[in-house]
Amino acid sequence: MKDNIQTNQAAVSVEGVSKKFGAAVVLDDINFSVLEGETLVLLGASGSGKTTILRIIAGLETPDSGRVILHGKDVTELPARARGVGVIFQNYALFPKMTVEGNIGYGLRLRGRPKSDIAEIVNTLIELTHLEEHRRKHPSQLSGGQQQRVAIARALAYNPEVLLFDEPFGALDAQIRTRLRREIRALLREIKVPSIFITHDQEEALELGDRIAVLNQGRLEQIGTPYNVYNKPATEFVATFLGAANLLLGIVNENRFEAEDIFLKIEPDPKIRDGQSVKLVFRPEDVFLRRPENLTQNYQPLVDGIVEEVNFVGAFERVVVRLNISTRPPILVTRPKSETTVFPLEPGVKVPVGLVRFRILPNYTLASERAARVI
């Protein structure tokens, strides 16, 4: 197995990778790295290019331009079998007539490894993936999570340069997915093999990734920690794709965001000029429907509004509020139980609306947005 000490060395580097299928641009100058022991999640909608990136790293597709580097070695021209990459597919691809031991050791037997070596490696991996009680069972006797651990153990048997996960939870129901994410996350932290997941599920990305790379129509919109990508979206697409977001159009004037009766102080930024059209972006949970004197957090009044809907959603309450400004759609607010108990609301009530956190983005249209152009 690989050394468990995490370093700052890049285990995987994707440099300037572009790909077309016919006239369609699938990937446009993609650049990112994955560190030793790091888990990177490629997040995007169907058609964003995330599967193509995974296939290029695995050697199943060839880029039109750019390079793939694994631990300092350019593998762009190498076939898949020579790259030392482990791929875990959505259906796990286990052999139904083999036991857990047989599945894990199958590739080693094909490579002619001595039986004593195979037994030692299989035992180590069974212990690592907590499958001791299931070693002689067949896949049909295992749960989805146990099958997935067998697939990971089989991939680890080759001492891979990197593990690639192709939407591994897509075929499972929501409750099982949540549990398995935690199990796999804990396992990856233990084995410290660099890993890349692809998914379209935002919650999955936030929970699994040390970092998240958000893809949109073949372009890398933003890459960063889950906290930064969620709270500091670099583009409008990231803000609206990764969780819910409210957007208000306005301008910047003397370090203020202005839109009709809304005036918010913003941090000075030499890249934003007075009179520039911008969008105010804020998450539903960063809105408070109270006066500032009731809060200890940093808070700026937005404008008053009227409650249109109040919906109980288990752990929180979802409120739709129409702001007292013209031609604006209503905003979405989420309130935790502690807030709803102290300040209950009902439709028709007038409320003060304020923000504890927000983001200012230049008003580029989605079709022409580039992360590099965003303040």
- Provide the residue-wise pLDDT of the chain in tens; the chain has 375 residues: 343 334 457 999 999 999 999 999 999 999 999 999 999 999 999 999 999 999 999 999 999 999 999 999 999 999 998 898 988 887 778 899 999 999 999 988 888 888 899 999 999 999 888 899 999 999 999 987 788 889 888 988 888 889 999 887 766 666 777 777 888 888 888 888 899 999 998 988 999 999 999 999 999 999 999 999 999 999 999 999 998 999 999 999 999 999 999 999 998 887 788 889 999 999 999 999 987 666 667 889 999 999 999 999 888 999 999 999 886 789 999 999 888 888 899 999 999 999 999 999 988 644 444 433 333
Rounded Cα distance between 147 and 151, Å, is 6
Rounded Cα distance between 368 and 142, Å, is 48
- Of 220, 355, 232, 362, which is closest to residue 299 (Cα–Cα)? 355
Q: Which CATH architecture has domain 10-237?
A: 3-Layer(aba) Sandwich (3.40)
* pTM, two decimal places: 0.84
Rounded Cα distance between 126 and 217, Å, is 40
The torsion angles phi and psi of 335, rounded to 5 degrees, stand at -125, 130
Looking at residue 329, what is its pLDDT? 86
- Of 110, 99, 165, 155, which is closest to residue 128 (Cα–Cα)? 155
Looking at residue 212, what is its pLDDT? 97
The label of the residue with tokens 């200890």 reads 296
Q: Please list the helix, strand and coil fractions of the chain in percent, rounded to the nearest 5, in that order.
A: 30, 35, 35
Looking at residue 199, what is its pLDDT? 92
Q: What does the buried/exposed string (b/e) look like for 208-236 if buried means 16 or more CB atoms within 10 Å of the residue's CB?
A: bbbbbbbbbbbbbbbbbebeebbeebbbb
| CB-count burial class (<10 Å; 0-12, 13-18, 19+) for 43 | buried
Domain boundaries, the chain: 10-237, 244-283+357-375, 284-355
Rounded Cα distance between 267 and 256, Å, is 8
Which stretch of DSSP H or E encloses residue 152?
A: helix 144-156
Contact status, residue 355 vs residue 291, Cβ threshold 8 Å: no
Looking at residue 35, what is its pLDDT? 94
63 three-state secondary structure: coil
The torsion angles phi and psi of 16, rounded to 5 degrees, stand at 60, 35
Looking at residue 128, what is its pLDDT? 84
The CATH number assigned to the domain with range 284-355 reads 2.40.50.100
Looking at residue 39, what is its pLDDT? 95
Rounded Cα distance between 158 and 166, Å, is 18
The label of the residue with tokens 């970092």 reads 211
Looking at residue 293, what is its pLDDT? 63
For the sheet with 277-282, list strands across it: 262-265, 256-259, 246-252, 277-282, 359-362
Cα–Cα distances in Å, from 36 out to 83, 279, 318? 16, 37, 41
- Of 37, 370, 68, 70, which is closest to residue 211 (Cα–Cα)? 37
